[in-house]
């Protein structure tokens, strides 16, 4: 009974904030797993959280900034052909800025705010990553590296970036623009709603300078089957000859070696020898493969 009461009290306590606002706030519930990896039982996640350590090349924190980024289907409505988007597609900060990102997922699916290309000695896999199933809010902090660079920010859930959830974050002046950012840069593959599929295929063929496609072969006719001739192997293959030769050469040596040994000792010795020969063969083959890969 006490168990039931305490469970209900806990449930009530945790559901209170949900009544107070229309999304779940994950910030107070995160458990620290070390190396900037925070997680909670409700599926909220922060990776690469770094509020303290300065990246190499930063003498001090240049500025402290806080942003709130929304993610959701409704932010893609203004972008033709897109399905998901952040409410902001471009960010710009001074190098060595301490940046706190409050990420609000307005959808009833999972979304991420994932930044790539950060220094790997400070951010595992070079990533700063907020992720939560919505509607929910999650926050994390990072310190931006020095230098002018453009960083990719996206949602890595299958097809979400391709469907529009993509942005760029410029540190300093940045180093160019990334493609296919809704309303910022042109798509790599431009959408064309007037062309039909056969026309599109024809156009793609012409652009790739490919020969005319082969006419479709009728599958009802079976091609004549060519009989396969198996050549019989001779009893004296190359391997046999080498084996015999080795045997003749090694026999006197072995006879000398085995003199005075018991049968068990001889068997043990032969076993060891075979083992080391196999090992030698394997390492030789491995070295050969390695040298061929270079």
Binding site for Cu ion (CB under 5 A): 111, 155, 157, 160
Cβ 109 to Cu ion shortest distance, Å: 7
Q: At what angle do helices 263-293 and 238-258 cross, to 10 degrees?
A: 140
Nearest residue (CB) to Cu ion, 115 versus 122: 115
Cα–Cα distances in Å, from 24 out to 42, 46, 137? 10, 15, 6
Cβ 165 to Cu ion shortest distance, Å: 5
Nearest residue (CB) to Cu ion, 111 versus 129: 111
Cβ 65 to Cu ion shortest distance, Å: 24
**Token pair for 23:** 């999304």
Nearest residue (CB) to Cu ion, 144 versus 178: 178
- How far apart CA 7 and CA 111 sit, in angstroms, is 30
Q: What share of the chain is helix, strand, coil (3-state, %, to 5)?
A: 30, 20, 45
- How far apart CA 121 and CA 125 sit, in angstroms, is 9
Cβ 71 to Cu ion shortest distance, Å: 6
Nearest residue (CB) to Cu ion, 85 versus 99: 85
Nearest residue (CB) to Cu ion, 61 versus 157: 157
User: Considering just the CA atoms, what is the radius of gyration of the chain in Å?
Assistant: 33
Nearest residue (CB) to Cu ion, 98 versus 160: 160
Cβ 187 to Cu ion shortest distance, Å: 19
- How far apart CA 247 and CA 268 sit, in angstroms, is 19
- How far apart CA 201 and CA 196 sit, in angstroms, is 9
**Token pair for 25:** 């706030």
**Token pair for 81:** 């052909």
Cβ 97 to Cu ion shortest distance, Å: 25
């Amino acid at each position: 009974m006490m168990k039931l009461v305490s469970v209900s009290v806990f449930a009530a306590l945790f559901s209170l904030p949900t009544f107070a606002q229309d999304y779940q706030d994950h910030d107070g519930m995160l458990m620290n797993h070390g190396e900037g990896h925070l997680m909670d039982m409700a599926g909220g996640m922060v990776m690469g959280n770094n509020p303290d350590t300065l990246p190499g090349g930063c003498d001090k924190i240049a500025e402290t900034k806080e942003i709130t980024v929304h993610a959701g289907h409704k932010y893609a409505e203004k972008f033709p052909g897109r399905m998901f988007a952040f409410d902001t597609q471009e960010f710009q900060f001074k190098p060595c800025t301490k940046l706190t990102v409050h990420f609000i997922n307005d959808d009833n699916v999972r979304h991420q705010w994932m930044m790539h290309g950060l220094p790997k000695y400070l951010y595992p896999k070079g990533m700063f990553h907020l992720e939560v199933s919505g509607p929910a809010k999650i926050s994390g902090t990072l310190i931006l590296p020095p230098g002018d660079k453009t960083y990719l920010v996206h949602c890595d859930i299958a097809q979400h970036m391709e469907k529009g959830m993509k942005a760029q974050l410029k540190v300093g002046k940045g180093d160019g623009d990334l493609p296919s950012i809704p309303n910022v840069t042109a798509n790599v593959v431009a959408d064309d709603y007037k062309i039909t599929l056969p026309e599109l295929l024809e156009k793609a063929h012409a652009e790739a300078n490919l020969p005319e496609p082969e006419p479709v072969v009728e599958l009802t006719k079976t091609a004549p089957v060519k009989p396969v001739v198996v050549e019989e192997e001779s009893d004296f293959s190359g391997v046999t000859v080498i084996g015999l030769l080795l045997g003749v050469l090694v026999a006197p040596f072995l006879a000398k070696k085995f003199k005075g040994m018991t049968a068990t000792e001889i068997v043990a010795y032969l076993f060891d020898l075979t083992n080391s020969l196999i090992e030698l063969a394997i390492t030789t083959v491995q070295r050969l493969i390695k040298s061929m890969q270079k």
